[in-house]
Structure formats: C-alpha cells, structure tokens
Structure 1
Amino acid sequence: MNDVYINRTSHYFPNNPVSNDEMEEYLGYINGKPSKSRRIVLRNNAITNRYYALEKGGKITHTNAQLTAAAIKELFRNDPEGIRHIDVLSCGTSSPDQMMPSHGVMVHGWLPQLGSIEVVSPAGVCCAGMHALKYAYMAVKGGDAKTAIATGSERFSASLVANQFEDEAHKLEALEENPYISFDKEFLRWMLSDGASAFLISDKKNETGLSLKIEWMEGISYADHMEACMYMGAEKQEDGQLKSWLEFGHEEQNEKSILSIKQDVKLLSPNIVPLGGKILPELFERRGLNPDDITWYLPHMSSNFFKDKIYEEHIKLGHHIPYEKWFVNLSKVGNVGAASVYFMVDELFHSGQLKKGDKVFLLVPESSRFSYMYALLTAV
C-alpha cells in the first residue's frame, strides 16, 4: 500500500465577501419584509462574512461546477502542465447544479485539459467533501492511481434567495396566518456560504516544502437509529419520515418550499455534538492517537454556538484539546458545508504555521441524518 500525501491546496471564493448587514441585499426580502430571525441566528453563529455566487439583487454569477473548476485551476497556477497528469477527479458537494449528470462530470466538463479520466461524485452534505477525499486517498493508496484531485464545494445561495419562498409566504398571507417562513427554513439562510477548495493528492510527497501525509480516514453514520435533521427536496412528516418532492404536485412544491434546505433545530442541538464524540475513545485507542499529540484541531462547525459544547464534550471524554490548538475560519468564510474542512486545511497549509511532524486532526459532522468523518494528517 502506498503512502498518500496532500501536496497542494487551493481555494476559490466568488465575488467579494458579504457582511451581515448586506445579506438581504443579495438574498432578497421574503414577502418584502426584513427577517425577524436573522439577527438572532447571526448573534449565535458569530459569522461576520460569507461569499455568494450572486450579485446584489440575486443575479447568479457562478455555477457550483464553475466554482470547483476555478479552485482546481488554482492548484496548477504555477504548473499549468501538471493538470495533464491526473488519474482521478473526486468532487464532493451537497448543492450540485442539477440532479443529473453528476457534479463531478460537470466539473470535468469545464476542465478539458484533464483529458479523459476517472470521475466520482460522492453525495451527502458536509461529509461529501471528506468522502471525496477518502475516495482519492484510497485510489492512490491502493495503487489504482498515482495522482488525484479531491474537491469540496457548495453553491447554496441559489436556493436561499427570496423568490424560492415567495409562493409559500403569499399562501400564508392569503390564509391570514403569519406570513413569515418557519424558522427551520429561515435558519440556514443566515448560516450558509458559497465557495470551492481543492487538494492535489499524490503517492510522492513534495521534494521541497511541506506535504500533509494522510495517516487514516474513518467515517460513521447513526442513521440506523436517528431520523433526518437537515434535508432538501422533501417534507418531514409527524412520524419523522421524509416525504419526497416527487410525491408533491407542482403547485404544492412551491407553496411549501419543498426544494428549500431545512434544519430541524430541535433535533440538531441535543445530538450533533454528543454523537460526534461517541466513537472517539474507541477510535483514538484503536488508532493509537493520544489527544496530547494533536498539534492542530480542525473541527467543522456550522455555528460558533457549538464551539464550547464541542470543547466540553472532549473534556467529558477525557480528551482535552485546548483552544490554542484549534484552527477554524468559520467567522471569515461562513459555513460552506462540504468545503469547510478543505478551507481550514488550505488556510493552515499556507499559513506558515505548520512544521514537520505536526499532527492535524479533522472532524466533520453532518447533521442530515447524523454522519461523521474523522482523519489524521501529518506534516512531512
């Protein structure tokens, strides 16, 4: 089995950063009214900037595939011929531009210089980027490929604009009910951001400068006993089951904003952190990892609300990871789902703070039906 290294990282954000006060200039006002929940959510999540593939007024500027292709091109900014020697392209996202074809092949379509290669598109939500990385890692580790590109990307903004909710708001108003959209639909409008990041994976480390050796990657799902918490293209029923968008008529889809992203916040808060820590004692013991050996801790957080809760959960498990080891950039870039952990690794990789021998622990939760991915990298 080959050793596997991350030799380059890159990122691409669309347009200029958007401040908290500007958000509704891009996303629009639902039913012409400012949001009642925006300031409450922003106060808790501590996000101060995010990026949208939109102009003010909601005009779309980039597709998800274009964002991802741009991040890949950044990998080869100083080595334009290097892109012609890639064996596998693995692209993870939870917001593809279409249901078919897959996100990965649409990205490939913007990069003819890659030639005809293997392409894979893991589905999912925040863990999709880690699944893409694991596929690239396994392909290189098993010898099926010498080089691979793994990406994480999102373009959430197109599903957050006000016109996606107008039919529902008007229906509520016509029924003489409160015309504000329910909190489970509004919540994520103030959390999510657009962007793409890419890693160049190889069976050889860099001859000069640092590489990140992927020591191991593991994942776990608790869907065997947990119901859906975040979902899109479905409506949650009283028994916890999801009713597919395919079972709704066209008018009903619009009147209930079925294609919007929703979060069951009552299910999220009591479960997302404890389940993320559940496997850690066994995982650390089996992998021979002492928390004291971790140099950098990169936990993906949807909101700063969870930071202290994650810290306290580690203490409860006997794994003290002090805040000075944490490396997060949520406040600057927002929650970019499948790309968030890539952005953290990318920023750390280019920060000048990494030293040979540093151990970097990644933890990515996914609230959709409570899945988690973990990985350990070593700077070499």
Structure 2
Amino acid sequence: MHEVYINRVAKFLPNHPVSNDEMETYLGKINDRESKARRIVLRNNGIQTRYYALTGSGHPTHTNAQLTARAIEGLFDEHFTAADAELLSCGTSSPDYLMPSHAVMVHGELGNRNMEVNSAAGNCCAGMNALKFGFLSVRSGNTSNAICTGSERMSSWMIADHFSKEVENLKQLEEQPIIAFNKDFLRWMLSDGAAAVLLERMPRGEQPLRIEWMEGYSFAHELEVCMYAGADKGEDGRLKSFSDYRSEEWLSQSIFAVKQDTKLLDRYILTKGVESMKHAMDKHGITPADIDYLLPHVSSHYFVEGLYAGFADAGIEIERHKWFMNLRDVGNVGAGSVYLMLEELVRSGRLKKGQHVMLCVPESARFTYAYAYLTVC
C-alpha cells in the first residue's frame, strides 16, 4: 500500500462576491415580493458574501462542469500537466444533467487524454466521497495520481422563475401565493464554486499533506430524508420521485426545487455529527490534542456553538482557535466547501510541518458524515 499526498490544491469562484443585499437581484423575487425568510435565514447563517455563476440579471455564466474544469486547471504546470492525470474523481450535488455523469462532462471540458473517471453523487459528502475514491486508487497502486474535486452550481436551481408556475397554481387554488419555507430557506443558504486537489504517491511541493485515513458514516437506516430535490415528501416521511408525478406537476408543485426539513435538521445534524466524529477518533486512537486545525463544513454559523458544545460533552472538545472556516466570505458551497477551506488554509501560510488537519463534513440529505485526517509534511 502506498502513502497518499495532497500535493496541490486549487479553486475557482465565479464572477465576484455577492452581498446579502444583492442576492434577490441575482435570484429574483418570487411573485414580485421580497422573501420573508431571507433576513431571518441570513441573520442565522452568518454568511455575508457568496459567489454565483450568474449575471446580475440571473443569466448563467458557467456550467458546473466548467467551474470544476477551471479549478482543475489551477493544478497544472510544467511539472504536472493535464496529460499526466490518470484518474478524475468529481463530487457534486448539482450536476448539470441527470445524465451523462458530472465527471465525464468535466473530462470533456478538460479535453486532455483517455483516463478513468468517477462521479460521486449525493450532497455535501459527495466531494469527500470523490476524494476517498482517489485516495484508495492511489493507495492501492491502481493509479499513481488522482485529481479529486468538489463543486456546486446551485444558483441556477434557485432563480425565481422556477417557482412562477407554483405561484400561479396557488393563486388558482385561491391559496396564499407564498412558497413554503422548506423551499425558500435554501435559496439564501447555497452558493457556487469549485475546488480540486492533486493526489500523488510521493510528496512534493512546498507543503504536501499526507492523508492518514478517511472514514464515512450513514444514518439512513434509522433517520428519514431531510434534504432532497426532484421529489416531494409525504406525511409518512417517504419520498415520491419526480418520475411518478405528471409532467405538469413538476412545475405547479416545484418538484425539482431543493427542499429541507428544518425540524429534522435541527434535531439530528449535530447529535449524529458528534457521534460519528467520536467514533472516527476512537477508531484511530486520536484525541483533540492530535488535531491542530479542524475544518468543519457547517451550513450555518447557527450550528457552530452547538457543535462545539456537543464535542465537549462527548469528551472530544476541540478548542475554538483550532477551527478554520470561510463560510462568512465564500458561503455554503456544499460538496466544494471542505476543499475551499483546505485551499484557503494551505494558501494562508499557517501550516507547519508535523501539524494535523481534520476535515469534517456532515450531509443532511439523510444524515451522512465524512472525515479525513491529514498530516503536514
């Protein structure tokens, strides 16, 4: 088995930062009304700026595949070119198409060479699942290198026009033409962007990071769906797929909108996160003293104090000065968030040889968690 090193990290954030006051200019107003949820959600999530692959009038500027390819291009130079890549492993929760897969579309954008590709589907953990596929490939000797990515282009899912038919339908039913909170909530939470890492067997560069281990946990066997799209949720907690609705209902009920059961989120996201984090640390025999930087992907600053308290109660208190986050400035980029945090930490110059970095990614879709433990070389 080979050691695996993250030798390079690169990112691509589209256009320019979008402030809280500008958001509805880009996304539009549903039924020409300001969202009642917007200020409440933004006050709790603590995000001040984010990036959209949109013009100010809501027209797309990049596809998800293009965002990802631009990030990957930042890994290349005269010492490692696109032609040297052996494996491309990409994770996202917002692919441009139902098919073909996201990774093959990114490969098409790169246009580099015949190579193995892997697409990791899901939500926030998709980026970590893509990383683990690359990690295991290099570690096993299947390939000598791997490019792994996490990306999102959620803005195009959230523009007001996608909800116009539902508003018209509500008016016809003589109901209040206001989009339900479980749909409106996420319009003010999600952002666009991409980042990529280069994995190799040998360390090189100024500050390579050795991946010591990766772990993943799913609680879908005991918890129902919390975040979903392309479906609707019944009273029994089961999902009904878009393919089982009439095509006119796709628009009249905004079936493809991203939705979140915020009550389930609040009840389980932290408790299961603490439980899985402790399990991973115990399995590998590490304590909080063995973590110099914690990179937690949290969707909202609302959860930070609760997560810290949960760790403390579980006996794995990680001091707050060790937490490294960029949610306030970059926003919640889902599968790309942990990559973007890592890129910023590496670029900051703070890391020192021998330090340890813990990547911590929760996914609320059906409560999945992923972890990686890195050593600065």
Q: The TM-score by the shorter chain falls in which range? A: over 0.9
* CA drift at 1:157: 0.5
Q: Does 1:43 align with 2:40?
A: no
5 Å matches for 1:226-237?
A: 226-237=223-234
Partner of 2:359: 362
1:81 Cα offset (Å): 5.3
CA distance in 2, matches of 1:5, 1:201: 5
Q: Is 1:28 the equivalent of 2:28? A: yes
Number of residue pairs matched by the alignment: 377
- The correspondence of residues 151-190 of structure 1 with structure 2, limited to 5 A, is 151-190=149-188
Shift in Å, 1:283: 2.4
Matched residue of 1:75: which SS? coil
Deviation at 1:279, TM superposition (A): 2.7
Distance 1:325 1:81, change over 3 A: closer
SS at match of 2:120: coil
TM-score (norm: length of structure 2)? 0.99
CA contact (8 A) 2:167 2:177 kept: yes
Contact 1:13 1:194 in 2 (8 A): yes
Q: Render the CA deviation track for 1:156-208: whole Å, top value 9, x for unaligned.
A: 011000011111112112222221100000000000000000000000101x4
Q: 1:266 aligns with which of 263, 273, 297?
A: 263
Q: Which amino acid aligns with 1:50?
A: R
Q: Distance in 1 between matches of 2:283 and 2:147?
A: 29
Distance 1:100 1:271 in 2: 32
* Unmatched segments (≥5 aa) in structure 1: none
Separation (CA, whole Å) in 2 of partners of 1:197 and 1:98: 20
Distance 2:35 2:78 in 1: 47
How much identity, in percent, do the aligned residues show?
A: 53
Counterparts of residues 272-311 of structure 1 (less than 5 Å): 272-311=269-308
- Amino acid paired to 2:66: Q
Q: How does 1:86-97 map to 2 (within 5 A)?
A: 86-97=85-96
Match of 2:372 among 365, 371, 375: 375
Contact 2:276/2:369 (8 A) holds in 1: no
> Counterparts of 1:189 and 1:284 in 2: how far apart (Å)?
34
SS in 1 for 2:74: helix
> Contact 2:91–2:119 (CA<8 Å) still a contact in 1?
yes
Bigger Cα displacement from structure 2, 282-291 vs 311-320: 282-291
1:304-324 Cα offsets, whole Å, 9 max, x none, are 000001000001101111110
Which residue does 1:65 correspond to in 2?
A: 65
Provide closer, same or farther for how the CA distance between residues 362 and 81 of structure 1 changes in structure 2, counting only shifts above 3 A: closer
CA contact (8 A) 1:291 1:321 kept: yes
In 2, distance between residues paired with 1:221 and 1:14? 32
> Where does residue 220 of structure 1 map in the other structure?
217
CA–CA separation in structure 2 for the residues paired with 1:150 and 1:106:
14
List 4+ stretches of structure 1 deviating above 4 A: none
Quote the offset at 1:248 in angstroms: 0.8
- TM superposition shift of 1:282: 3.2
Answer yes or no: is the 8 Å Cα contact 1:58–1:161 preserved in 2: yes
For residue 147 of structure 2, what is the aligned residue in structure 1? 149
**Distance of 1:79 and 1:291 partners within structure 2:** 40
Q: Does the Cα contact within 8 Å between 2:6 and 2:200 map onto a contact in 1? A: yes
Amino acid in the other structure paired with 1:137: F
- Distance in 2, matches of 1:282 and 1:310, equals 15
Is 1:91–1:151's contact at 8 Å kept on the other side of the alignment? yes
3-state SS of the aligned residue for 1:136? helix
Structure 2: 5+ residue stretches without partners:
none
**Structure 1: distance between partners of 2:301 and 2:111:** 40
Task: Give yes or no for contact 1:292–1:320 (8 Å, CA) kept in 2.
Answer: no
Deviations 1:22-74 (A, max 9, x none): 00100001011111110000000000000001001211110000000000011
